[in-house]
């Protein structure tokens, strides 16, 4: 991973507590700072998550420290944030609007 990106991550997301449930805002922030990164949305160790990849396909996950496991299993759903009720045709994933009762 690029040392400048690594420093950015360690500055803004230094430990587990700073990372938990922050993947969305972290990915949006890191991509704004480093537009060469690509957004990835899917699952990490079975939990809905988002992260980035660099041009070489290496995972850049600013909130990886929230996972206790050193080996995180990533499963890609889409290479962008999905809008409400949008279907990702390649995977069949859909981000549903909440149901009101």
Full-model pTM: 0.78
| Helix (H/G/I), strand (E/B), else coil: 46 | coil
Residue 44 in any domain: the answer is yes
Q: How many domains does the chain have?
A: 1
Closest to 6 (Cα-Cα) out of 79, 82, 85, 65: 65
Express each pLDDT in 82-98 by its tens digit.
Answer: 655 555 555 555 554 55
Domain ranges, residue 16: 3-94
Confirm whether 101 is domain-assigned: no
pLDDT given at position 1:
73
Q: How many Å apart are CA 35 and CA 18, to the nearest integer?
A: 23
Query: pLDDT tens for residues 2-57?
Result: 899 999 999 999 999 999 999 989 999 999 999 999 999 888 998 889 999 999 99
Does residue 100 fall inside a structural domain? no
Domain-located, residue 38: yes
Q: With bands split at pLDDT 50, 70 and 90, how would you rate the model's confidence at 62? A: very high
Say if 27 falls within a structural domain.
yes
In a domain, 22, yes or no: yes
Q: How many helices and strands, by DSSP H and E, does the chain display? A: 3, 6
């Amino acid at each position: 991973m690029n040392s400048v990106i690594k420093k950015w991550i360690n500055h803004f997301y230094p430990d587990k507590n700073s990372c938990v449930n922050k993947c969305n805002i972290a990915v949006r922030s890191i991509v704004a700072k480093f537009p060469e990164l690509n957004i990835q949305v899917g699952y990490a160790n079975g939990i809905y998550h988002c992260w980035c990849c660099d041009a070489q396909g290496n995972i850049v996950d600013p909130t990886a420290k929230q996972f206790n496991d050193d080996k995180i299993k990533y499963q890609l759903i889409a290479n962008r944030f999905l809008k409400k009720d949008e279907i990702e045709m390649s995977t069949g994933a859909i981000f549903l609007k909440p149901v009101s009762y």
